[in-house]
Amino acid sequence: MIDKQSLHGEWSSRFAFILAATGSAVGLGNIWKFPYIAGENGGSAFVMVYVVCVVLMGIPIMMAETMLGRRAKQNPVATMQTLTKEAGADTRWQYLAWMGMVAGFLILSYYSVIAGWASAYTLKAVMGDFFGSDAQKTSVMFAEFISSPIRLIFWHSFFMLATMIIVSKGIRNGLERAVQMLMPVLFVMMFLLVGYAMTTSGYSQGLHFLFSPDFSKITGKVVLTAIGQAFFSLGLGMGTMMIYGAYLPKNVSIAKSTIIVASADTIVALLAGIAIFPIVFANGLQPDSGPGLVFETLPIAFGNMTGGWLFGVLFFIMLVVAALTSSIALIEPAVAWLIESKEMTRDQACVRAGLVAWVLGFVTVLSFNRWADVHFFGQTLFELIDALTANIMLPAGGFAIAIFAGWMMKQPHTEQELALPTMQYKIWKVLISYVAPAGVFLIFLHVVGVL
């Protein structure tokens, strides 16, 4: 048995881990990305497939990734090096960790830019810029905002600096303290917004769009996108759950904790849809309007509803909070690797990792203005990075984690870490060994045109 202690400390309790892991999962992927991805992929058809993907693939792989981290108590690269040696497996499995860290960095690079949009819109809400808004005004406002590289770089820099400061404080004083303050605020504001959506004329239409299944709209593209969104939203395949698992005390149940985290993450995504789509339909907007959906739609409501100034400020603060709890998780695997492998202080590691992600973010910034006409495979650079990470790298990472945990690790070791009753362990074993990898593999066949 491996008996290690993380160099970085541990979460103070199971609740602290659940808050941190939920904060890692609940982010822009739920509130910004889920609604517009659902809107572009048939609403209810996408939602149904998404929930199935979370249950059959997301939760088993989240359990496996957390288990790997807790067993080795190291950064993702060192974790795979240690566990491959223990399992007698090929040392090239460590490339799984490298791919995950690269994916996390690519996601963080554009995540910070979008979070910068939310930060800027918080200020716009405070200044009353949404008063009397209609669809044309918000569309022009958003177009003018993203057309300025300098403005986007400023807000991108602001958000990345906040991320680096929190992570530099360490596990309990930085990550844990931040999520303990921020997550309750996020949930309160989300329920307030849903309460407002219930009063709009588009509430029934929004619910119908999200929850009335239309099986004819389920296509290979919808399934692929749902799997990618499930992995993106849960933070799988990018090393975040592995590193958070490394800080998890041995007496905490991995299964119970991850089920709670995945459930909370899915609930927030659905609540975001319930809050946003009624406003979309009540104002005659299109649900498939893409990445600008939240920034072009909600300001209309906030500019015309009673108490809209307050709700607008609260919503965009919530969006920044959600982004922040995820961004600190995205950068932590690289920070831990720099500390353990390069013997840097935490401050030095945060600066190095943060600067790399900050510079990479310029690609996303410019893809909305100066490089808007630059396309590869019919996509802008931002869309290409998003598709590469969400639809390829994260599912590939999840596939590899499933194969390693289900087939490479010795059964006594996985039984020891998960500590499940016999029947529950067998169900997990079937899901992680057969169902999850088969599901992801079939989607890859569709991507390359075989299916």
What confidence tier does 3 reach under pLDDT thresholds 50, 70, 90?
A: low
Per-residue pLDDT, 185 = 82
Write down the pLDDT at residue 435.
93
Q: Which amino acid is at 179?
A: V
The structure tokens listed for 131 are 């008063």
Cα separation, 296 vs 280, in Å, equals 10
In a domain? residue 222: yes
At residue 450, the pLDDT reads 66
The single-letter DSSP state of residue 131 is T
Does residue 247 lie in a domain region? yes
The domain that holds 265 is classified in CATH as 1.10.4160
Is residue 390 within 8 Å of residue 229, measured between CB atoms?
yes
pLDDT average, residue stretch 141-158: 96
Q: Give the pLDDT confidence score for residue 275 in this predicted structure.
A: 86
Over residues 156-181, mean pLDDT: 90
Across 188-202, 294-308, 339-353, which has the greatest mean pLDDT? 339-353
Using alpha carbons, select from 63, 70, 95 the residue that is nearest to residue 81.
95
Per-residue pLDDT at 448: 62
pLDDT tens digit string along 362-373? Answer: 999 999 999 999
- The mean per-residue pLDDT over the stretch 320-348 comes to 92
Mean pLDDT of the chain: 89
Give the Cα separation of 250 and 2 in Å (integer).
12
CA-wise closest residue to 430 among 419, 440, 438? 438
Residue 146, pLDDT score: 95
- Give the three-class secondary structure for 239: coil
Residue pair 139/289 in contact by the 8 Å Cβ criterion: no
226 against 437, higher pLDDT: 437
Q: Which residue has the higher pLDDT, 135 or 107?
A: 107
Better pLDDT: 283 or 85: 85
Evaluate whether 168 touches 250 at the Cβ level (below 8 Å). no
Q: What is the pLDDT of residues 78-132, one digit of tens each?
A: 999 999 999 999 999 999 999 999 999 899 999 999 999 999 999 999 999 999 8
pTM over 0.95: no
Name the DSSP class of 294. H
- Cβ neighbours for 289, distance < 8 A, ≥ 6 positions apart: 36, 39, 296, 297
Give the pLDDT band of residue 447 (cuts 50, 70, 90): low
Residue among 446, 180, 430, 448 nearest 328 (CA): 180
Asked if residue 27 belongs to a domain, the reply is yes
Predicted local distance difference test score (pLDDT) of residue 1: 46
Q: Is 218 helix (H, G, I), strand (E, B) or coil?
A: coil
Q: What is the pLDDT of residue 178?
A: 85
Residue 7 belongs to a domain:
no
Is 398 a member of any domain? Answer: yes
Task: Indicate if the pLDDT at residue 290 is higher than 80.
Answer: no
- Max mean pLDDT range (263-272, 303-312, 336-345): 336-345
Instruction: Let me know if residue 6 belongs to a domain.
Output: no
- Residue 156: exposure state from Cβ atoms within 10 A (0-12, 13-18, ≥19): buried
Q: What is the pLDDT of residue 282?
A: 80
CA distance 6 to 75: 9
User: What is the percent of the chain where pLDDT is above 90?
Assistant: 51
For the record, the structure tokens of 384 come out as 């290409």
pLDDT at residue number 427: 97
Q: Which of 368, 324, 298, 321 is nearest to 125 (CA)?
A: 298
Domain hosting residue 278, numbered range: 14-447
Could you give the C-alpha distances from 434 to 60, 400, 444, in angstroms and in order? 11, 12, 15
pLDDT tens-digit series, residues 384-436:
998 888 778 888 898 999 999 999 999 999 999 999 999 999 999 999 999 99
For residue 203, what is the enclosing H or E element?
A: helix 203-211
User: Is-contact 85 15, C-beta < 8 A?
Assistant: no
Paired with 376 in beta bridges are 379
What percent of the chain is modeled with pLDDT above 70?
97
CA distances from 96 to 70, 90, 336, 445 (A): 17, 12, 16, 20
- Give pLDDT, residue 10: 86
**What is the pLDDT, as a whole number, of residue 4?**
65
- For Cα atoms 354, 357, 358, give the angle at the middle one, nearest 5 degrees: 80
The answer to the question of residue 252 being in a domain is yes
Q: Is residue 168 pLDDT above 60, yes or no?
A: yes
In a domain, 337, yes or no: yes
Q: Nearest to residue 117, comparing CAs of 68, 155, 173?
A: 155
Give ∠ CA 97-103-109 in degrees, rounded to 5: 135
Query: Helix, strand or coil for residue 379?
Result: strand
pLDDT tens digits, one per residue of 228-250: 788 778 888 889 999 999 999 88
Query: How many domains does the chain fold into?
Result: 1
Tokens of 239: 């090393």
The reported pLDDT for the residue numbered 276 is 83
